[in-house]
Amino acid sequence: MKRREFFRTSFGAGIAAGAALSLGGYDKLWAAAPGNAKYDMIAIMGGNPDAMFDLAIQELGGMETFVKKGQKVLVKPNIGWDVVPDLAANTNPLLVKRIIEHCFKAGAKEVYVFDHTCDNWVNTYKNSGIEKVAKAAGAKMVPGNSENYYQQISIPGGVKLKSAKVHEILLDTDVFINVPILKDHNSTRMTASLKNTMGIVWDRGYWHSNNLHQCIADYALFERKPALNVIDCYNVMVKHGPQGVSKEDVVQMKSQILTTDWVAGDTAAAKMLGVDPQKIDYIPIAHKMGIGNMNLDNLNIKRIKM
């Protein structure tokens, strides 16, 4: 089966009525880009998660661009669900491991990994496959299951979210690398970079009851922003998100997006999911608030097919 046919038939069968994949948008995302030295985004496809990251981070100048010798690093995947890796509810373990390895290669003193999980954190860390690979790579897994781990911070300029309790590890590290997985979500239609921050805060219930999309954008005003966003689009859950039901919910896209602009990253991710970014409310809200740029045509994007 040809790749174009694979995407067309998989999404045609898998996505609910009215949410068809825009192949025109997908092709545009992967179209040829000018060969300039500096890029706002790397969009790569066709390899394994670790190999894609190796090549993509090189195009951004290497991990040394983001992590300096002796720094403490927080790598924040999505580890929210007690689900095996094949169901794509959590970030791909191979990607998480490779990012950690690059951090240490760049001279990181310590690397920490955590998420405020939705399911039991012990089971989720284990069954996601992330705990095993993170420890093998030398990182430390940090629990996020107690309010005692969270500290109150203010969010100047927030419309709905003016303060939040964030995990102390975010405040105690020098570099924050955001590693979400792209997938369908029943509350926001899509989750990726911006929404992954809900795993950093304690009281997610407040967000859900006070304009979730605005709260997602508001949180992005907080000064501790990601130095790098790495969106895992290898296996993508296209329905029944965020937890998923079976492998029938998953399409293998073998792709990855790296960017320092999480609004741009989520815009590109929405296009990959076949959704108009304007309909993911927190994306245009964040754009209008000046948090990032959703106009991909104005960005210098390096596209790579392996």
Q: List alpha helices for the chain, DSSP H.
A: 3-14, 23-29, 49-59, 93-105, 121-127, 130-136, 168-172, 204-209, 212-219, 262-273, 282-288
- C-alpha span between 52 and 141 (Å, rounded): 24
pLDDT tens digits for range 35-65: 433 799 999 999 999 999 999 999 999 999 9
Q: Domains in the chain, start-ordered, CATH in brackets?
A: 3-305 (3.40.50.11440)
pLDDT tens digits for range 87-122: 999 999 999 999 999 999 999 999 999 999 999 999
| pTM, 2 dp | 0.90
**Residue located via tokens 């304690």:** 202
pLDDT of residue 29: 55
pLDDT tens digits for range 205-223: 999 999 999 999 999 999 9
Query: Does residue 10 have a pLDDT over 90?
Result: no
pLDDT of residue 97: 98
**Residue located via tokens 């570099």:** 175
Work out the mean pLDDT of the chain and round it to a whole number. Answer: 90
